[in-house]
Amino acid sequence: MKKLLLVTLLLLVGCASKSVPVTQKFPTVPDELTTPCSDLKDIPENTDKLSVLAGTVVSNYSLYHDCKMQVDSWNEWYITQKKIFEEVK
Amino acid sequence: MWMLSFIPDSFLHLVIILILCAGAGIYVLSLFFNFAVPLIPYKEPARILGTLLIVAGVFFYGSYDTEMRWRKQVEEMQAKVKAAEEKSKQANVKIVTKIQTRLKVIKEYKTVYKNQIKEIATKIDSECKVDPDAIKILNNAAKEPPEKSK
């Protein structure tokens, strides 16, 4: 009888240890971050004006800043989202 | 085990307690069967039945407890996931707003510098003529480099 009672106590833990079936999806990247960087602009070849060249250089610098901002934002987005994702455990 | 989720918790709990109490009751009663001569032949079957009911009751109680703990864990996890999704959305909005603001600033600065060049265009164009070869070199440099190096 005592052995039977011991077995009964063991039965209490019979159904333990299951993993929770709740899945978490990693968020989707915003469209603003997935647009590819533009190609640099060419200087018109039929000109000898320094102002035209300088204007193109300014445009290209601006394109670089756009692209840099996008890459930096991508990194920031990933680090932030990864941190939030890993908090759920 | 999933079928348990269709039965109300309180009813399930009550049934389990009843099984346990019935088992314990029958077992205790069987101890007194010795004092009533006509009940003596039923003593052993009653003890066995009582014990079986206790075993079943304890097993069901264990299962019930696991089920309840499981449901609580699922609820907690769902709440955590929901909170994380909300946090993630807020982070997305924050980043997108930051991008839009930055793009606007970059565009404004570009216009400012272009206007500054326009202002001094006559002066710099009269002082310097750009060689077409320099333009070719600059344009080549602006192109995306090929995958293979020279």
Determine, yes or no, domain membership for B23: yes
Confidence of residue A73 (pLDDT cuts 50, 70, 90): very high
Who's near A74: CB < 8 A, 6+ residues apart?
A: A29, A33
DSSP A38: P
So what's the pLDDT on residue A24? 84
The answer to whether B130 touches A48, Cβ cutoff 8 Å, is yes
So what's the pLDDT on residue B147? 80
Determine, yes or no, domain membership for B11: yes
ipTM of the complex: 0.74
Determine, yes or no, domain membership for B86: yes
The answer to whether A46 touches A18, Cβ cutoff 8 Å, is no
So what's the pLDDT on residue A7? 61
Q: Report CA B102 to chain centroid distance, whole Å.
A: 33
Which chain B residues are closer than 8 Å to A79 by Cβ? none
pLDDT in tens, A7-58: 655 655 555 555 667 888 899 999 989 999 999 999 999 999 999 999 999 9
Task: Give the CA angle between residues A60, A30, B101 to the nearest 5°.
Answer: 50
Torsion region of A17: left, alpha or beta (phi above 0 gives left; psi -120 to 50 gives alpha): left
Determine, yes or no, domain membership for B48: yes
So what's the pLDDT on residue B72? 92
CA distance B134 to chain A (A): 10
Q: What mean pLDDT comes out for the span A61-65?
A: 96
What span, in angstroms and rounded, lies between the C-alpha atoms of B90 and B97?
Answer: 11
Q: Has residue A80 got a pLDDT over 60?
A: yes
pLDDT in tens, chain B (150 residues): 556 667 788 898 999 999 999 999 999 999 888 888 788 888 899 999 999 999 999 999 998 898 899 889 999 999 999 999 999 999 999 999 999 999 999 999 999 999 999 999 999 999 899 999 999 999 999 988 888 776
B58 and A73 in contact by Cβ < 8 A? no
Q: Has residue A89 got a pLDDT over 90?
A: no
Among A65, A49, A39, CA closest to B139? A39
Determine, yes or no, domain membership for B150: no
Determine, yes or no, domain membership for B145: no
So what's the pLDDT on residue A23? 83
So what's the pLDDT on residue B24? 94
CA distance B12 to chain A (A): 16
Which chain B residues are closer than 8 Å to A51 by Cβ? 117-118, 120-121, 124-125
CA distance B128 to chain A (A): 6
* Residue ranges per structural domain of chain A: 26-87
A27 and B88 in contact by Cβ < 8 A? yes
What span, in angstroms and rounded, lies between the C-alpha atoms of A63 and A76?
Answer: 20
Determine, yes or no, domain membership for B148: no
Determine, yes or no, domain membership for B118: yes
B132 and A48 in contact by Cβ < 8 A? yes
* Domain of residue B96, residue span: 7-140
Among B83, B76, B57, B60, CA closest to B1? B60
**Range list of H helices, chain B:** 9-31, 43-127, 132-142
User: Which chain B residue is nearest to residue A55, measuring alpha carbons?
Assistant: B114
